[in-house]
Each structure stands twice: as structure tokens, then as C-alpha cells.
Amino acid sequence: MSDDKEAQEDELLALASIYDEEEFHGAEAAQGGEVQVCVELPLDFKVVTKGDKQTEYNVCFLPPLVLNFEFPEDYPSTSPPHYTLSSKWMTRAQMSALCRRLDELWEENQGCVILFTWIQFLKEEAVHYLCIKSPLEVHRAKSSIKKNPDPSSASSSASSSSVAPLDPRAVVLLDPRVDLLPQLLDHDEARRQRLFDGKVFCCGICFSEKLGAACLCFKECQHVYCKTCMSEYFQIQIKDGNVQCLNCPEPKCSSVATPPQVKNLVGEELFARYDRLLLQSSLDLMADVVYCPRVSCGTPVMVEPDSTMGICSGCQYAFCTLCKMGYHGVGHCKLPTEELRDLRDEYLAASADGKKFMELRFGKKVIQRAVEESFSRDWLSENCKNCPRCGTNIQKVDGCNKMTCTSCKQYFCWLCLGVLCRGNPYSHFNNPQSPCFNQ
């Protein structure tokens, strides 16, 4: 009995020294504990959802198998540990097969401590032993409820479930009413981040070596820079209103930081500005969105197709989307562009008495707006061109004919207003078939 007791304590001590607190912790009231075992997956392992459209997701980590155990008094000399095996993503049939294999390993090593052997098998051989292949099929919650109320019938690979009995020590942690896929993806993301945080990276801006926990990794391109450099870069861009330009600093890389990454690196005030400007720039690109013309409001308003009436949800103002004045039904706008120019010319050519008369007739503010807007329209027409993507007025000051829109950052040709590709915008001017070849 004393030899068994000593062997049990030595084994628990060894497990505590090999695995961290998240992977193993001993029981307080008995000789036992819990081990979380992360199974090793093949390279390029995928999970797939079945439904109207099949979607595949690459994963490196799946939720761990949980081995709860307790030592009887005559372990390891005579009896094996009492245990249960549980999982969020395996079926009960698959875990029953693993329990049978754990029993076989005990029979082969009876009289010796067995937990480390069990853990290594579950970690390194479980996927191969169960013939689990990529992609692993994951059923959505509704499918599980309607077609597979027993989680043990929802697997892709346990062919022995129809002939082998289910082991009472196999426990299914998955609630069939809950969608499994988000849990798998969240766990994979958390484990990837934990692995990233422990590695050392060299920042491509300041060339300092820092742990991943102090770095930012762009999702699309996987380029890594330290958070200090990226925080300064993001703050400058947001203050300048360039919320569409929070991209990877690597030359010719178009990866963009995600909103959670931006929020993690700038203060609440700057992130609120970033969030507001990002929404506004997105709305500006939508043809069916206009803004309430009241200076004190400015709420975005959705407009029905082929309609010129907008009703602000904030202040309930009904206005014409063409002239931004109060809605006037099917009647013409009072001062379209052509009339503004005529009104300006007539006002500027009028005598002092004529100007007073026109100000009384149309209103001084209307006259001033006609003069200002007409001159502005003339200047824009003569000096600017419209971005082919968002319609923003762009003036060319100098440089080549490859232009970048200051609003939506679209590349376009100044000569023909054609949209240019982001990867190689100058191919438009190098292609002999292009109307702007060599220009």
C-alpha cells in the first residue's frame, strides 16, 4: 500500500512539472485530477459545415479532450485509475473507442503508472486511431435538433458505433441546441493568439525584437509590427481623417487592420472618431443614402429607388434629395444649376437698385448661395474631374496620370477616368492596347 501511495504522489508531481496549470490540475479532496489534452491535427486540417452551401475553415487547434481521473488505493499495482473522457467535438461513439484503447494500454502496462502513456496516446494518435480525416464535418444546431437529437449520431468517422456499445465513461459536452462551429473557431483563434504571443518578432519599422504579445499581426498578409509603431501610425491617420488607410506598412501590401485591432491600439476618443468616419465613408459610397440637409442634424437617410423625397428619421424633416430644400412634390426644384448661373449673372450685372430688388424677390441668402455655388461649380468643372468610384471632385496638381482618390483611395487614370488595379496600376499605361499607352 505504501508503494502504491508513493507511486501515485510521484506521478501527480511529474504531471504538475510537465504540464502547466491550464493543462493539468490535481484534485483537492482525492488522489486524482483533470488533464486537458490537445490532439495533434494534420497540416491544412479543415472543418466543414453542411447546409445550403458548404463552407470550409482552416483550423490548427480543436478544443481539448478532458480526462478526469481518480486513483484507487491499489493503483498502480492492481487496479487502473477510475476515469471519464469528455469532448466538445467528438461523438460518444468515438470517445467510447478511445476508452477501449485506454483500457488496452492499461492491460499492456499493468503494474506501472499509466497516465503519461494515456495522455501521449490521446495527443499524438487519437486522430489517426479514429481515422478522422479532413474536412471534419460539423453539423449546425438546427440540423442536430431535427435529424440527430443524439450527439453520438452526428459524426463523420465512427463506423463502429453501430456495433460497439457506448461506454458510460465517455461524456459529450456539446449541447445539441448550440451551434458548434463558432466555438471551434473561437478556440482555434485563441490558441493561435497564445502561440503568437510567445514568439519573438522583429518590427519592420523600428527593427526592435519584441514578443508577439507586444506586436500586431495583419490578418490577411501576416506581416508583423510592434504595437508602439502601429499605434503612432494609426493615431496620425485617424487624426487626418484617413480611416481607409490603416493598412499594412509593407510596400505594395493592401492588408487592412480590423476594427478590434485599431481599438486595441488607440484611445476611446480616437476610436470613436475612426468608427464615425469609417461609417460615413461607407455611406458616402452608397447611392441610396443621402444626409439630412439641416445643419443641426445631418442624419443619414435611406432613399427609395426613383424617389426624390427623403424623410429624416432623426428630425422628421421631409426634403428634396436634388435641391436639399423642403420637399416640393412633383414640381421642379426652384433653383437648379442652370438657374443658379443665370441668377448669378443677372445679379452681378444689375445696378444697385436692381440688386436690392432681386434680394427682396428671392431673398438675400438665396442670392448669396446662388453666387457662391455657381462660382464653385464653374471652378470645379474647369479644374476637377470626378472619381469613377465615389464621384468625389479631384484636382490634379502635378505628377503622373495615375491618380488616388482622397476619399475612397481608388486608383484611376486622369486621362480616361478608368479604374486601375491596386496590384499594378501602371500596367494601364504600359499596355499597347490601352488608350492611354505611354501617357
Copy the grid coordinates of residue 85. 473522457
Active site residue 38: no
Q: How many CB atoms lie within 10 A of CB 217?
A: 17
User: What phi-psi label fits residue 75: left (phi over 0), alpha (psi between -120 and 50 degrees) or beta?
Assistant: beta
Cα(49)–Cα(138) distance, integer angstroms: 5
First to last CA, the chain: 92
Cα(426)–Cα(253) distance, integer angstroms: 16
Q: Which residues contact 4 (CB under 8 A, 6 or more apart)?
A: 73, 74, 75, 76, 77
Helical segments of 266-316, H only: 268-284
Number of alpha carbons in the 13 Å side-chain half-sphere of residue 353:
0
Cα(144)–Cα(154) distance, integer angstroms: 7
3-class secondary structure, 202: strand
Cα(97)–Cα(39) distance, integer angstroms: 15
Q: Which of 112, 315, 400, 421 is catalytic?
A: 400
DSSP per residue over 40-51, as a string? ---TT-EEEE-S
Q: How many CB atoms lie within 10 A of CB 373?
A: 15
3-class secondary structure, 186: helix
Copy the grid coordinates of residue 420. 486601375
Copy the grid coordinates of residue 415. 486621362
β-pairing, 65-70 with 170-172? unpaired
Q: Closest by alpha carbon to 391, among 380, 375, 382, 401?
A: 380
| Chain centroid to CA 16 | 37
Question: Burial, 344: exposed, middle or buried (Cβ in 10 Å; 0-12, 13-18, 19+)?
Answer: buried
Positions annotated as catalytic residues are 400
